[in-house]
Amino acid sequence: MSGIEFCFERKQDGFQLHAEATLPGIGVTALFGASGSGKTSLLRCIAGLDQAENGHLTVNGECWQDSSRGLFVPPHRRALGYVFQEAALFPHLRVRANLEYGWRRTPGRERKGNLNHICDILGIGELLQRYPSQLSGGEKQRVALGRALLNSPQLLLMDEPMAALDRPRKAEIMPYLERLHAEADIPILYVTHDLEELARIADHLVLIEQGRILKQGPLAEMFASIDLPIAKDENAGAIIQTRITRHDDGYHLTHLQFCGGEILVSRIERATGEPLNIRIHARDVSLALQPPGESSILNVVQAVVTDILDQGAGRIMVRLDAGGAPLLARITHKSQSRLGLQIGTAVYAQIKSVALSI
């Protein structure tokens, strides 16, 4: 049976974790919530680093904990990899030896992948003879991820692996995480509080609040739900699945096709035909009842209002359906009144190309 099923009840230092869910058995599931919401506590229970007083955990059909039967598989016997905020590499070992640490301890019949393939995915082949002290923060995290993968895990846990990195280092490691996402054949649980981060690599989203799972679902569906806490964030926006159709070298633009039409973005160095998820911020979508005239805004798509939510302080969040793709627009209460927007109203959504987050 594919999937991750768990139910944990744990009290510690005044905090109570009461989380129950069934998660996909493949792809990247992001655990998202504010600091102190219980993301790391949940991950540690899944890893077996903390033992819930009452708990049950099954990973792809294999039971790792069942309190009712007194069953608790210790962490070292769970087929998982764990990547922490800090790389925690062995400082006295070169990169190759760090990578081979788990590989050597995994029985041959249970080994998946190989060192060369992992090095290729993560771009660390040229680092093999260096010591951790000779690596940048991004390089250390890539090596830590490689070491976790060479443990041949059935499940990979990543606890805010980029939290300690500055913006340039995050930009450095993100393409490697995207490639891992595309090639991994195991479930990955990824803890983050960064909306931009999870928008790039996650398939499924779990919202955690005060030790409980508030809601979970496919990423695009969750991002487009205006009644969830993430819709109140300044960076709230919708995720749209597109495909690269062509590049316009003259204007340095890339054409993206989606179910609701076409979107232009600044040129992307990716091949024609590749799928690409893009995130459009709600604050960068304006609405009109008539087709706009000549304008510097290149992207205009037809849509229908499907939901409206008053967010207070004179702000309104509008959910749109653009040919089957969700869009969010944050406008003022006055704008809603002036346009007479209500559910079912047909509109033209104007999107700034420079505001697209890819």
| One pLDDT digit (tens) per residue for the chain, 358 residues | 579 999 999 998 888 999 999 999 989 999 998 888 999 999 999 999 999 989 999 999 999 999 999 999 999 899 899 998 888 899 999 999 999 887 777 776 767 768 888 899 899 999 999 999 999 988 999 999 999 988 888 999 999 988 888 888 888 888 888 888 888 888 999 998 888 888 888 999 999 999 999 999 999 899 999 988 888 888 889 999 899 999 999 999 999 999 999 999 999 888 899 888 888 999 999 999 998 888 888 899 999 999 999 999 899 999 999 999 999 999 999 999 999 999 999 999 999 876 665 6
- 3-state class of 223 per DSSP? helix
Helices (H), the chain: 39-47, 95-104, 115-122, 137-149, 167-183, 195-201, 219-223, 333-339
What's the pTM? 0.86
User: Strand order in 212-218's β-sheet?
Assistant: 80-83, 155-159, 187-192, 27-32, 204-209, 212-218
C-alpha 24/C-alpha 187 separation (Å) is 7
Q: State residue 358's pLDDT score.
A: 60
Domains in the chain: boundaries? 4-223, 237-357
pLDDT for the residue 22:
95
- What span, in angstroms and rounded, lies between the C-alpha atoms of 16 and 26? 28
CATH 2.60.40.10 fits domain 237-357? no
User: Residue 331: what pLDDT?
Assistant: 96
Q: Which CATH number is correct for 4-223, 3.40.50.300, 3.40.50.1110, 1.10.150.130, 2.30.30.280?
A: 3.40.50.300
Distance CA 47, CA 33 (A): 19
Look at residue 194 and give its three-state secondary structure: coil
